[in-house]
Structure 1
Amino acid sequence: MKIPFSPPYINEDVINEVTDSLKSGWITTGPKVKALEEELKSFTGAQEVLCVNSWTSGAIMMLRWLGLQEGDEIIVPAYTYCATAVAVLHAGGKPVMVDTTDDFNISVKEIERAITPRTKAIIPVDIAGFPCKYEEIMALVEREDIKAKFKATSDVQEKLGRILVLNDAAHSLGAHYNKAQRTGCETDVAIFSLHAVKNVTTAEGGAICMNLPKPFDNTELYKELRMMALNCQTKDAFSKSKAGSWRYDIIGLGMKINMADVNAAIGLAQMRVYTSLLAERKRVFNSYKVAFSDCDWAIIPPAIDGEKETSYHIFALRIKDVTEEQRDAMIMEIAKKDVAVNVHFIPMPMLTLFKDLGYKIEDYPQAYANYKGEISLPIYPQLTPEMINQVVTSVKEAYSTIIG
């Protein structure tokens, strides 16, 4: 049978929720977006949650709100999807790439080495849904010697008085940073992706979680960012549509990145059963873990480390001691068995945009080492034991054919 890589989870509840939105007469930003925000807020423990039309646009808006000026630096891992750094460029900042560790995530040691007086934010990325070392990262930005280096270039930065930590939590909705704390509330800001291939989807979308310390008021910040996501218009379309409520004002230079109700309806139905969906993803992950446990060439991705636990978004299998070309050949063999796999990710310094900006993959040896042998296997609730067995068999046979 054909096994796709990452189809969305669509059941009758999702269809009914979307149909309800279509029949309501209101399909853009309105009550379903607000309901999804409340579900995410309750699930993650974040102080406030704002839904937008993508992770990328949400990150751009947050960095613009931070008030980046020319020359301001944002530290990002070299091993991530391009959006992490593209958002920095769109917001007027300079991405400073650092290497990762062998668990795929950003190296705290390399973060510290990269900090300068121009550093305004750090964007760690929870690769495959496995949380970064946030206790260490937050302790780092609060250190007196690091705060002494910090030079604010905007009122927001002055108010914060230190480097902002913005968690790229695109993969990690549902992950645990510790037993009592899910991702979404462990940093100043965390942004989830709700793209079509994510654990919870709105087809396209993102969710900004706000947890800024005092003197910031996250409830007031939510209101400010909600306006900013709607061209800084003082009244949203839903409110304007009410009889006699047409008048509005534009009070700043905003963006048009709001989420629509018809999209939010998909995620809303999924969030209501997400605990069970997570359990099914974990079932698939553990099935792979057992299946490859007797293969000395297979490096199993991290899932649980102390109180940290992944969201089981990606099963990032690595093949020991192979070249990039051998890994690619294995993927072609797997495809012959009607199994779709992927690679997460091509390190950013290998992409033309960033090569042209002067980044070199040779400067990030661990990122390249993680990438060259990585094969992402399908992992989603709809996978049956028979389908999992087909995936496992296709990978083992591909290894035997290519590596021998």
Structure 2
Amino acid sequence: MNIPFSPPFIDQSVIDQVVDTLHSKWITSGPKVKALETEIMNLTGSKAAVCVNSWTSGAIMMLKWFGVKEGDEVIVPAYSYCATALCVLNCGATPVMVDVLDDFTIDPKKIKKAITSKTKAILAVDIAGWPCHYDSINKLIRDPDINKLFVPESEKQAAMGRIILIADAAHSIGAIYKGVPSAQKSDIAIFSFHAVKNITTAEGGCICLNLPVIFNNKDEYNFLKIFSLNGQNRDAFAKAMGANWRYDILFKGLKINMPDICAAVGLAQIRQYPTLLLPLRKKIAMKYCRMFSMFPWFIPPALKDRNRESSYHLFPLRVKGITEAERDEIIDFLLSKGIVVNVHFIPMPMLTYFKSIGYDIEDYPNSYKQYSCEISLPIYPQLTNVEVDYIIENTIEAVQLHLEKSNLIEIAS
């Protein structure tokens, strides 16, 4: 049996949406993007949604929008994909990495210790679709003593009057926090629609705005649409519909708009997401937990508690007491059985570039601890019951064989 890790969900409705876009003869940003933005607002309850061509470009744009620049600091978890820190570096600022909790999310106590007068933003990452401790982080950034440290250096920063909270929600579309979509718990939440995500546009992302009342979210939406199109005040679709051909460049923008041909894929998927795609992911996750919980080596992933529920983007299996090398042997066994698994993530301080600029994994022991025993199992709507059973059986066999081997070595020594 051959089971890929995370193929995109492509059914007839997706094909029909793409074909409709092609027949319309309008494939760059246009009505499909606007329709997708509306669906995202409906799903998340956000005040505005701006589709862009990737999570990374969206994060860079929002940091620039807030005035983040050279000399500033942005707090990020050490345990994340590289884009979380690279977007900060691409604004000229410094990513201040802090360690994570056992549930993979950024540690609020570590955030507090890392805040300085240079801190402008916190990028909190919803790893695997599991929301961060947003109540604790929101309480922290509104603490009067913390606010005394905040030094506004742009118009947006002065209006905000505090550190901005941006959710790296790349994994967490559909996640819930205290009964509402988790996107509402940050000032800005940015989703990824990369090919392996719960909803995909092949490449893409979306910025959800839930800014304080001093901001007009609709006005900021209009500004960001211009920002994402080179600062141009009239987009191609408006001109094609008979608007004045004359345009102007209002400021130094970016070119990061999402095209309709990509939005069409996401539009078809999001309309099935709450009733079909997300429940199927949850069903698989629950079955994994039910079967693995019979074994003492299983560390259950955080999926649901009284305040939060995951989007079930990943199933981060952790095996108690194993080393990184032992984890890799289990992965090799599963690959030999045709099961493609992954690891989420290699902590950023372990990567060559970040090591070269001074980050050291020794400073983030819990990030390494979680990484060293983590294996991401396939979890997506197209998986059949037979395939899920095959993954479970072989994962149990792989771990049990490894543990028996380790015991034999200990007895022999």
TM-score with structure 1 setting the length: 0.99
Q: Distance between the aligned counterparts of 1:92 and 1:241, measured in 2?
A: 37
* Equivalence for 1:183: 182
Q: Distance in 2 between matches of 1:50 and 1:375?
A: 33
Q: Deviations over 1:38-81 (max 9, x none)?
A: 00001100000000000000000000111123210000000000
Structure 2 counterpart SS, 1:208:
strand
Aligned to 2:146: 146
Q: Deviations over 1:277-333 (max 9, x none)?
A: 111000000010011011111111011111310000000000111110010111000
For 1:370-381, list aligned pairs within 5 A: 370-381=370-381
Matches within 5 A, 1:193-342: 193-243=192-242, 245-275=244-274, 276-342=276-342
Q: In structure 2, how many angstroms separate the alpha carbons of the residues matched to 1:7 and 1:32?
A: 23
Instruction: Read off the aligned partner of 1:260 and give its amino acid letter.
Output: P
Separation in 2, partners of 1:169, 1:244: 36
Q: What SS does structure 2 have at the residue aligned with 1:50? A: strand
CA-to-aligned-CA distance 1:133-167 (integer Å, 9 cap, x gap): 10111111011111111011222111111000000
Preserved contact between residue 326 and residue 403 of structure 1 (Cα < 8 Å): no
Residues 81 and 346, structure 1, Cα contact 8 Å, conserved in 2? yes
Q: CA deviation at 1:244?
A: 5.7
Secondary structure of 1:74's match? strand
* 1:85-142 CA-partner distances (Å, limit 9, x unpaired): 0000001110000000000000000000100010000000000000001011111101
SS at match of 2:375: strand
C-alpha separation in 2, matches of 1:168 and 1:256? 21
Structure 2 Cα separation of the partners of residues 228 and 120 of structure 1:
21
Find the aligned partners of 1:357 and 1:305 in 2 and give their Cα distance.
38
Structural RMSD (CA): 0.8
Q: Secondary structure of 2:120's partner?
A: strand
Q: Is the 8 A contact 1:69 1:153 kept in 2?
A: no
Q: How many residues align?
A: 403
Rounded to whole Å, the distance in 2 between the matches of 1:351 and 1:95 is 15
Aligned to 1:79: 79
Aligned-partner SS, 2:184 = coil
Q: Distance in 2 between matches of 1:372 and 1:295?
A: 19
Paired residue for 1:387?
387
Shift, 1:385, TM fit: 1.3
Alignment CA distance shift 1:244-1:30 (3 Å): closer
How many angstroms apart in 2 are the aligned matches of 1:154 and 1:92? 15
Cα displacement string for residues 174-199 of structure 1 (whole angstroms, at most 9, x for unaligned residues): 000121x1022111000000010000
Ranges in structure 1 where 5+ consecutive residues have no aligned partner: none
1:362 corresponding residue in structure 2: 362
CA contact (8 A) 1:33 1:259 kept: yes
Q: Deviations over 1:210-243 (max 9, x none)?
A: 1111211110000001000000000001011233
Q: Residue 218 of structure 2 aligns to a residue in which SS? A: helix
* Structure 1 runs (4+) greater than 6 angstroms displaced: none
For 2:408, the equivalent position in structure 1 comes to none
Residue 127 of structure 2 is matched in structure 1 by: 127
Amino acid of the structure 2 residue aligned with 1:339? I
Residue aligning to 1:68: 68
1:19 — aligned with what? Answer: 19
**1:117 is aligned with what amino acid?**
S
Give the letter for the 2:83 counterpart.
A
SS of the residue corresponding to residue 302 of structure 1 reads: coil
- Mapped partners of 1:243, 1:40: distance in 2: 28
Flag the 1:77–1:244 CA change in 2: closer, same or farther, 3 A.
Answer: closer
SS at match of 1:123: strand
In the alignment, the residues of structure 2 paired with residue 243 and residue 100 of structure 1 have an alpha-carbon distance, to the nearest angstrom, of 53
CA distance in 1, matches of 2:173, 2:68: 27
Contact between 2:70 and 2:91, CA under 8 Å: does it hold in 1? no
The answer to whether the 8 Å contact 1:101/1:366 transfers is yes
Distance 1:304 1:114 in 2: 29
Q: Which residue of 1 aligns with 2:407?
A: none
Match of 1:30 in 2: 30
Secondary structure in structure 2 of the residue aligned to 1:375 = strand
**Fraction of identical pairs, as percent:** 54
